[in-house]
Structure 1
Amino acid sequence: MPEKLAFWSIPVSLFVLLLKVFAWQLTGSVAMLSDALETVVNVVAATLAFFAVRIANKPADRRHPFGHRKAEYISAVAEGVMIIFAAFLILREAGAALSNPHLDDVPIFGLVVNAIATLINGAWATVLLRAGRRNTSPALIASARHIFTDVFTSLGVLVGLGLALVTAWLILDPLLAIVVALNILWEGWKVTRESVDGLMDVSLTDAELTAIDGLIRANMQGALQYHDLKGRRSGKAIFAEFHLVVDGTMQVDAAHDISDQIETAMVAVFPASTFLIHLEPDSELHMT
């Protein structure tokens, strides 16, 4: 499912790009140009996301025993960098237009074309975001968030150009493009930061650690204590480890059964995840 959606993002983004380029040619608006430039990034990002999702879904192999899931983070980082680059391109175009703001003769039709592109973008972003959250796919989520940024950009452009036409204050066009660029820059920074966190093995969230803690406590009957829980996420998979303290006289197979019981419960909640349990004797009990 994620791979199919990632593939269809490519033709959808191309179609939206064509509509926005057409809208820009009809209006001559630098704000419309900025909107189209951001959609160019969408096309490249959609292509990257497709290949990243394909790679991430490959099973573990001898060279990659922990799987290929981090490919999605690499794609998301690249997308964030491209978003930032697009923002600087828009700032350059808007700065050049400040001294000579203008619109062409058919702006109303251009606004209608841009509005259609925005509706298509909004619907597709909603589909991607729901699928990305359902499948814990960083690449799909990053693409959806970027497209939503594009949607809000387009809405701002439509409102701003409408005001420029009503008031005849054409300076609103390049000023609006600058606001758009700053918003895109902020979104690019957020996407890049979050994706780098994934590559750097940032810790699981407090909610995820609390959920794992609850599963361990509910299934550790026969053990004395657990401690030193830590974990990280790689795409939809979780890698977590902790120390489980048992009676020093307990048979190895009995201690192993307890570990299996805990691991089975956790994998049921976090499929395709890996949990490492380090057994310790009661001499390692931590005083609370």
Structure 2
Amino acid sequence: MSSTETSSRPVRQKVDLTKFAWLSIAAAIVTITLKAGAWVMTGSVGLLSDAAESVVNLVAAVVALIALRVAFRPATERFLYGRARAEYFSAAVEGVMIFAAAGVILVTAVERFLNPRPLENVGWGLAISVIASLVNGGVALVLLRAGKQHDSITLRADGKHLMTDVVTSAGVLVGVALVVLTGWERLDALVAFAVGVNIIVTGIGLITESVSGLLDKALPDEEHEVITEILRRRTDGTVTFHGLQTREAGQEKYMNVHVLVPDDWTVKRGHDYIEGLEHELMGVMPTLHVLTHLEPISDPASYEDIPEAHVPIHGEDEAALRPPRDDADAQG
């Protein structure tokens, strides 16, 4: 079976995302200062747990900065495909840090439940905590938007973490206010405990997402639909496709597919066809790296190498699309 392979680079350059990590670091420093001050003023273990999570935010932001710097480096002779997967390590580290913060919060909450203490200066403490939450909320929205735009798991993870911090801060504020209204001091510890549990759930989600990326998770279904729609449109009876596989690594997306063309096409004609296909695909997905495998459409051997795991292009078993073998083929 004669074949040729070709690949191409995306038309859009990788974007340096470290400015967003610096924004996250600055926000973490500001919120740590504000929340620690609120805790000192009130003595609330709930506000202490909120401040502890902001410390984790700072560590996670520093790790994200390192990961984004590494991922942005160009490919070298040793790292021929670049270092895009460094972003997944950042998300995993952030998940682990969340677990550490949750552990501290839960232990502190149990101790305060057993030994409740009255709260002081609640009004000022709550006001300061609200300001810190507004800072986190604004930065979280910026990170989530940038993470979606640039396909960065690091920014998405950091944004989700900050948004979780905003939600938990709201819970803490409600809890502290209820302590003042009801006079039940142990409620402060219960709220802190609930914050710890919520943080654990967030950490599990981040680690799951990072592990999926390290294990070559396929592109999302909506992106598969974009690719298969183009391939189906180009299937015209003389050219067809099968064996589509995809994966993602940080900002980069990868796909490989078998292109079956008429037996009498020259290598030049096949190459020109594939060039047009790649440009169309990358026109709608600029960071997509395309690897194609050219095969003669009537050769039965072209249908023997369909990967066991692949994305259906034509909505049915692609091996069933092979042309019938004539008598000469069967005897050969």
TM-score grouping bracket, smaller chain normalisation: over 0.9
Change (3 A) 1:223 1:7: farther
> Paired residue for 2:62?
47
- The 3-state SS of whatever aligns with 2:114 is coil
> Paired residue for 2:229?
214
Could you tell me how far apart the structure 1 residues matched to 2:286 and 2:118 are?
A: 55
Q: Is 1:287 aligned to 2:302, yes or no?
A: no
Query: Retained in 2: the 8 A contact 1:42–1:146?
Result: yes
> Paired residue for 2:81?
66
Query: Which string of whole-angstrom CA distances, capped at 9 and with x for unpartnered residues, describes residues 183-214 of structure 1?
Result: 00000000110011111111122211111111
Could you tell me how far apart the structure 2 residues matched to 1:274 and 1:172 are?
A: 54
Could you tell me how far apart the structure 2 residues matched to 1:222 and 1:61 are?
A: 42
Q: Is 1:20 aligned to 2:35, yes or no?
A: yes
> Paired residue for 2:257?
242
> Paired residue for 2:23?
8
Between 1:221-230 and 1:169-178, the stretch displaced more is: 221-230
Pairing 1:1-288 to 2, within 5 Å after superposition: 2-219=17-234, 223-282=238-297, 283=299, 284=302, 286-288=319-321
Could you tell me how far apart the structure 2 residues matched to 1:223 and 1:168 are?
A: 79
Could you tell me how far apart the structure 2 residues matched to 1:219 and 1:63 are?
A: 37
Cα offset for 1:77? 0.6
Between 1:144-153 and 1:231-240, the stretch displaced more is: 231-240
- The 3-state SS of whatever aligns with 2:246 is strand
> Which structure has the larger Rg?
2
TM-score by length of 1: 0.96
Could you tell me how far apart the structure 1 residues matched to 2:111 and 2:238 are?
A: 70
Identity level (%): 40
Q: Which amino acid aligns with 2:212?
A: D
Change (3 A) 1:187 1:86: same
Aligned residue pairs total: 288
Query: Retained in 2: the 8 A contact 1:3–1:53?
Result: yes
Could you tell me how far apart the structure 2 residues matched to 1:73 and 1:280 are?
A: 35
Q: Which amino acid aligns with 1:86?
A: A
Cα offset for 1:94? 0.6
- The 3-state SS of whatever aligns with 1:98 is helix
- The 3-state SS of whatever aligns with 1:254 is helix
Q: Which amino acid aligns with 1:31?
A: G
Query: Retained in 1: the 8 A contact 2:23–2:139?
Result: no
Could you tell me how far apart the structure 2 residues matched to 1:142 and 1:106 are?
A: 34
Query: Which string of whole-angstrom CA distances, capped at 9 and with x for unpartnered residues, describes residues 232-270 of structure 1?
Result: 011121111011111122111111111111111111222
Structure 2 unaligned blocks of 5 or more: 1-15, 304-318, 322-332
Cα offset for 1:221? 6.0
Between 1:59-68 and 1:159-168, the stretch displaced more is: 59-68
TM-score by length of 2: 0.84
Q: Which amino acid aligns with 2:111?
A: A
Query: Which string of whole-angstrom CA distances, capped at 9 and with x for unpartnered residues, describes residues 113-132 of structure 1?
Result: 11110111111111111111
Change (3 A) 1:103 1:2: farther
Between 1:111-120 and 1:221-230, the stretch displaced more is: 221-230
* Aligned Cα root-mean-square deviation (Å): 1.4
- The 3-state SS of whatever aligns with 1:122 is helix
Could you tell me how far apart the structure 2 residues matched to 1:109 and 1:82 are?
A: 29
Could you tell me how far apart the structure 2 residues matched to 1:211 and 1:218 are?
A: 11
Could you tell me how far apart the structure 2 residues matched to 1:223 and 1:40 are?
A: 61
